[in-house]
């Protein structure tokens, strides 16, 4: 699954994680402070006027601050491009594998674009604060803002949204091609080993259908996982800073960085509950695919041989399908009770946490919007397992089936379920 597409997969992913850690630590410990002198952004002097400026002096100060922020942003992009170029260049040169350009360069590009999309979300979160503060000012003091200021804020959002939509569409197009190349690599690898794997139950299905499903799930689940990590890295500092407005939690009292504490605690509770409730699902999904494959295979044999696919045999095989599905439905019943109950309760968690601060009038409407949005982003990132559990279960079951191919190719013992199936085949023959 991975060896066919990535050069030395274990080393590749381990080196990526370590390199990312080194780059992130390097940025916060030393490199970030060099932006004032090395950033190309300082050459352009770009600034963005703030609609809430009271006078010319305040507008000038805000413009200067925005120019400094722009220079820091450009410096971050410079730094990231250098980090990516070093990592990708080293692996393209060292990997020496057929699909290295797609797997290495493509992976780097997807990570970079995902990070950029998250940064756009951070910009939108900042826009929410300015916009709702502007609305609050207008509603509390009629005619205190101009129509130009109002439409200027809307045009800012329109520009950010246009960039976000364009990048998202192009990224989805590229990811689809990337994942199909991965499926092609798996297909080429498995078909080249056909003589070693043809005796495995449902071999044709595993090569055709399971690789297709694996690619489709990786396309959706992998991108969501990457987005969750990037969102967490981007919004956790934002939520950390906004926690200064919320120092007291109901039933608990004063807690340092209260919003971060609540987000982490609630995510841990949800992940634990879902893991316990859904612990049996991967095995049941795997058995479900096995009984479906056995039923399908008998039908296929019946197309060519008159003595196969007899009604009694088909009834027996379909009874196994029915039994496994009913068992699966029952397990999903209590799993979904826990899952949906937890997600609905999560709607109230940030409002409960903000209750004392709202009553005390500790922040403006704009700050509240920024807190709610940032909390939602961080909470959603922490709850990746909760929101994706059913898809992860399906992926685990497909992974189990494809591992049987790799066991046969590497002359290793087959998984127990496949050994049982082969033993039954021998008995029937």
**DSSP codes joined into one string, 366-386:** HHHHHHHHHHHHHHHHHTHHH
| Residues 93 and 130 occupy one common structural domain | no
- In order along its 429 residues, the chain shows pLDDT tens digits of 777 888 888 888 888 889 888 888 888 788 777 766 666 655 555 444 454 445 545 444 444 445 556 566 677 778 888 888 888 888 888 776 678 788 888 888 888 888 888 888 888 888 888 888 888 888 888 888 888 888 888 898 898 889 888 988 998 898 888 888 888 888 888 788 777 767 666 677 677 777 777 777 877 777 778 778 878 777 788 888 888 888 778 877 777 788 888 888 888 888 788 878 877 877 777 778 778 878 877 887 887 787 887 888 888 888 888 888 898 888 888 888 888 888 888 888 888 888 888 888 877 878 888 888 888 878 777 777 777 777 777 777 777 777 766 776 677 665 555 555 555 555 554
Position 291 in a domain? no
| Residues 205 and 69 occupy one common structural domain | no
| Residues 87 and 194 occupy one common structural domain | no
pLDDT score recorded for residue 53: 47
| Residues 123 and 222 occupy one common structural domain | yes
| Boundary (domain end) residue, out of 62, 97, 132 | 97
pLDDT score recorded for residue 416: 58
8 Å CB contact between 150 and 176: no
- Those residues whose C-beta lies under 8 Å from the C-beta of residue 213, and which sit 6 or more positions away, are 394, 398
| Residues 155 and 76 occupy one common structural domain | no
| Residues 231 and 133 occupy one common structural domain | yes
| Residues 83 and 157 occupy one common structural domain | no
| Boundary (domain end) residue, out of 97, 130, 145 | 97
Position 308 in a domain? no
8 Å CB contact between 36 and 65: no
Position 46 in a domain? yes
Any idea what the Cα angle at residue 285 is, between residues 183 and 403, rounded to 5°?
A: 45
| Residues 16 and 68 occupy one common structural domain | yes
How far apart are alpha carbons 289 and 205 in whole angstroms?
10
Position 418 in a domain? yes
| Residues 13 and 153 occupy one common structural domain | no
Position 286 in a domain? no
| Residues 79 and 124 occupy one common structural domain | no
| Residues 148 and 33 occupy one common structural domain | no
Question: Within a 10 A sphere around the Cβ of 198, how many other Cβ atoms?
Answer: 11
Which token pair is 372?
Answer: 């709610």
Question: Within a 10 A sphere around the Cβ of 364, how many other Cβ atoms?
Answer: 15
Which residues is 249 bridged to in the sheet? 253
Which token pair is 227?
Answer: 């987005």
For residue 27, the enclosing domain spans 1-97
Give backbone dihedrals phi and psi of 277, rounded to 5 degrees, phi first. Answer: -70, -30
| Boundary (domain end) residue, out of 97, 132, 155 | 97
| Residues 67 and 145 occupy one common structural domain | no
Position 178 in a domain? yes
pLDDT score recorded for residue 52: 47
Position 259 in a domain? no
Which pTM does this prediction carry?
A: 0.66
Position 428 in a domain? no
pLDDT score recorded for residue 51: 47
Which token pair is 225?
Answer: 């996982």
State the total domains in the chain.
Answer: 2
Which token pair is 377?
Answer: 């982003």
């Amino acid at each position: 699954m991975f060896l066919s597409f990535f050069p030395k997969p274990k080393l590749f992913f381990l080196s990526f994680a370590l390199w990312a850690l080194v780059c992130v630590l390097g940025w916060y410990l030393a490199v970030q402070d060099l932006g004032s002198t090395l950033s190309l952004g300082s050459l352009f002097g770009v600034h963005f006027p703030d609609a809430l400026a009271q006078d010319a002096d305040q507008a000038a100060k805000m413009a200067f601050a925005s120019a400094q922020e722009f220079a820091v942003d450009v410096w971050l992009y410079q730094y990231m491009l250098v980090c990516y170029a070093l990592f990708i260049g080293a692996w393209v040169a060292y990997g020496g594998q057929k699909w290295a350009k797609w797997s290495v360069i493509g992976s780097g590009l997807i990570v970079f674009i995902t990070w950029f999309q998250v940064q756009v979300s951070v910009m939108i979160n900042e826009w929410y604060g300015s916009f709702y503060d502007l609305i609050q000012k207008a509603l509390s003091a009629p005619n205190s803002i101009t129509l130009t200021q109002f439409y200027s804020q809307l045009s800012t959002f329109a520009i950010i949204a246009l960039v976000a939509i364009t990048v998202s569409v192009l990224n989805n197009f590229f990811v689809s091609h990337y994942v199909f190349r991965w499926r092609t690599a798996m297909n080429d690898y498995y078909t080249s080993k056909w003589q070693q794997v043809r005796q495995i139950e449902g071999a044709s299905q595993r090569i055709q259908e399971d690789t297709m499903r694996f690619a489709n799930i990786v396309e959706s689940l992998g991108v969501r996982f990457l987005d969750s990590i990037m969102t967490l890295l981007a919004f956790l500092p934002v939520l950390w800073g906004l926690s200064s407005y919320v120092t007291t939690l109901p039933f608990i009292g004063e807690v340092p960085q209260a919003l971060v504490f609540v987000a982490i605690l609630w995510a841990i509770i949800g992940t634990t509950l879902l893991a316990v409730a859904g612990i049996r699902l991967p095995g049941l999904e795997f058995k479900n695919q096995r009984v479906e494959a056995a039923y399908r295979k008998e039908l296929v044999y019946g197309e060519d041989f008159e003595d196969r696919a007899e009604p009694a045999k088909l009834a027996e095989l379909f009874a196994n399908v029915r039994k496994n599905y009913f068992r699966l439905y029952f397990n999903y019943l209590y799993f979904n009770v826990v899952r949906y109950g937890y997600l609905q309760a999560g709607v109230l968690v940030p409002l409960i946490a903000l209750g004392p601060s709202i009553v005390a009038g500790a922040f403006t409407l704009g700050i509240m919007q920024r807190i709610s949005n940032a909390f939602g982003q961080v909470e959603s990132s922490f709850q990746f397992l909760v929101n994706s559990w059913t898809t992860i279960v399906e992926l685990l079951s497909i992974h189990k089936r494809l591992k049987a191919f790799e066991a046969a190719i590497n002359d290793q013992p087959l998984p127990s379920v496949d050994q049982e199936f082969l033993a039954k085949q021998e008995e029937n023959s």
